Structure 1
Amino acid sequence: MNMQVPVLNIIGPVGIGKSSAADAISEMLEHDYALPHAVVDLDHVRRGFPAPSEDPFNMELGFKNLAAVWNNYRSIGAKCLIIPSVMESREHLDKMRLSIPGADIFVVRLVASLEVNHDRIRGREKTLDSLNWHLQRSTQLAEELSQKNLENVIVDTEGKLPTDIGREIILKWGIIERYGSTGRL
């Protein structure tokens, strides 16, 4: 029998601040609560070239890598998992559950105005082609995700520091109440 694994899945369009929020949450869980956890950026563990034509975003590779990496983190005592990712469907959430036996997934969708989101993208992209692709993709994803209702809660990131966003997410996730302030059951 598998024990439940609290999984925080931070979703949103490209450039919205998923990775920054995950990093801030990880810092707080470590330093403020001593809660054993892991962070796996699903967008990073599926990055590979070339991607199969039938899976242009390498989602299947990402879920296989997620399963392997989670097993390694679990073996050293991680009790929960934080996954920033562009998650686009319930099917993808189901595949995440298969990758993490016992996953109790809590989905937070980050939002901001397109203007703010696009300003963030402009600050990070290094080529015009990449900038244009990410601007178009962020617009498309923001619209699609607003209609799919994959999330448990929405967190507006506009005008907030990653630490403020992280604190808000931790409260909404309820992970500290579940494990206590020392990270122990």
Structure 2
Amino acid sequence: MAAGKSSVGWEVFTQLSRSGVKVAFVDTDQISLCHPLPQDVTHGLRARNLAAMWANFRQEGMRCLVLAGFVGTSEEVREYTTLLPEAAFTLCRLRVGSAELKERFLGRGWRPELVEEAVAEADALDRSDYADVCVDTGGLAVPEAARLVRERAGGWPGALTAPALPRDLPRRPPAPQADAAPPVPVLWLRGATAVGKSTVGYEIFSQVHRTGVRAAYVDMKQIGALDPADSRRLKARNLAAVWAGYRAVGAQCLVVSGEADSDDALQDHAESLPGTAVTVCRLHAGPATLAERVALRGRGGGPAIPGDGLRGLGPEALKRAAERAAREAEALDRAGAGDLRIDTDGRSVREVAADVRARGGNWPNLPQGAR
């Protein structure tokens, strides 16, 4: 925790895509958001979802993939390599000294009570020998750490040959049978940039799984990082792949955030979820609130999501982003998009999440005995 896996991984992805390499990025945390689950099935779930997404990335012409996530033993590594025999894995462990690790961890403002656990975890990894490469990121800016990772890994990814692409995959999964089980509830959060889709979506997911309901969560921005690619098609396929993995471990409902910028896109994505009943909730905020949230993201506030395009922007760029967000919100309002419209101005994340669930019929409102 806090060694820089997601940040450095995204930077490696960015450097390669800028150089013209068709590269993909996956954060394993983002493809295992299904709780509550026994701890010992987490890597198996991540590995199965990654393997299912792999075919979709390859069909779009992926030449290499950056995978960010935690593994602590060679046995855990084998859960991934066994399911992807065509992949040539290079395992790079990032490390940082205890003092800087504590500083980074506490600087996140998330679960500060776990800081000692993070230090103990790092000490245990320092005694391990399963990685191919180890890079100390202490004192390094993220771009420099990414450059050093690639250098230590032999100029990764090295020479790339043209991939033998798999046959084209069907665009949509088959429709469910007429005698299928009752539809699984899906809540899809839509709205303008910075309105809070991911934050509210994750809060709803957390509220539901804390009641004992096995819930799943997908942030659409996190399942289609391939540059360049047909993003809409890829994300629809990857959504279907990840949802199949979650259903296989017993997910009873699904929360999805973002990436439905038009009714057609939403329809494409929703058709990746056969056997579900999708409720679309549009979050709304006024121009002043959107400007505040855009500025907060620009300063590094909010969830640390890989690839956040607002993080680190200057004042003028953030101003333009806020103006775009306001136009997006206005257009969605004019269109009357969504089954529900929820105002978020002046309200906490928990208040908004509670309102969404209440107005969505006590979502997910599972039948008695389903929990």
TM range (shorter): 0.7 to 0.9
Residue 76 of structure 1 and its aligned partner are, at CA, apart by 0.6
Residue 60 (1) aligns with residue 233 (2):
yes
Q: How does 1:137-148 map to 2 (within 5 A)?
A: 137-148=324-335
Residue 23 (1) aligns with residue 210 (2):
no
- Pairing partner for 1:111 from 281, 284, 293: 284
Between the aligned partners of 2:229 and 2:323, the Cα distance in structure 1 is: 20
- Pairing partner for 2:273 from 100, 113, 120: 100
Amino acid at match of 2:365: E
Q: Deviations over 1:166-185 (max 9, x none)?
A: 111111222253345x752x
Between the aligned partners of 1:162 and 1:134, the Cα distance in structure 2 is: 22
Q: Compare the two structures and name the one with the higher helix fraction.
A: 1
TM-score (norm 1): 0.86
- Pairing partner for 2:255 from 82, 105, 125: 82
Between the aligned partners of 1:49 and 1:132, the Cα distance in structure 2 is: 26
Tell me the equivalent position of 1:55. none
Distance change >3 Å, CA 130–CA 8, structure 1 → 2: farther
Q: Deviations over 1:45-88 (max 9, x none)?
A: 23332345xxxxx2221111101010011111111110111422
Residue 36 of structure 1 and its aligned partner are, at CA, apart by 1.1
Residue 177 (1) aligns with residue 365 (2):
yes
Q: How does 1:117-156 map to 2 (within 5 A)?
A: 117-125=290-298, 126-128=312-314, 131-132=318-319, 134-156=321-343
Please say if residues 14 and 86 of structure 1, whose CA atoms lie closer than 8 Å, have aligned partners that are also in contact. Answer: no
Please say if residues 17 and 110 of structure 1, whose CA atoms lie closer than 8 Å, have aligned partners that are also in contact. Answer: yes
Residue 28 of structure 1 and its aligned partner are, at CA, apart by 0.8
Residue 70 (1) aligns with residue 243 (2):
yes
Residue 117 of structure 1 and its aligned partner are, at CA, apart by 0.8
Please say if residues 70 and 100 of structure 1, whose CA atoms lie closer than 8 Å, have aligned partners that are also in contact. Answer: yes
Distance change >3 Å, CA 131–CA 49, structure 1 → 2: farther
Between the aligned partners of 1:16 and 1:45, the Cα distance in structure 2 is: 20
Between the aligned partners of 1:92 and 1:26, the Cα distance in structure 2 is: 23
Q: How does 1:35-50 map to 2 (within 5 A)?
A: 35-50=213-228
Question: Higher mean Cα deviation, 12-21 or 82-91?
Answer: 82-91
Percent of residue pairs identical: 27
Q: How does 1:4-23 map to 2 (within 5 A)?
A: 4-23=183-202
Distance change >3 Å, CA 164–CA 108, structure 1 → 2: same
Between the aligned partners of 1:65 and 1:130, the Cα distance in structure 2 is: 31
Please say if residues 281 and 341 of structure 2, whose CA atoms lie closer than 8 Å, have aligned partners that are also in contact. Answer: yes
SS in 1 for 2:261: coil
Which structure 1 segments of 5+ residues have no match?
A: 53-57
Between the aligned partners of 1:169 and 1:78, the Cα distance in structure 2 is: 20
Higher RCO (CA-CA < 8 Å; seq separation 6+): 1
Distance change >3 Å, CA 45–CA 34, structure 1 → 2: same
Between the aligned partners of 1:86 and 1:97, the Cα distance in structure 2 is: 11
Between the aligned partners of 2:339 and 2:236, the Cα distance in structure 1 is: 21
Residue 89 of structure 1 and its aligned partner are, at CA, apart by 2.3
Amino acid at match of 2:227: F
CA RMSD of aligned residues (A): 2.0
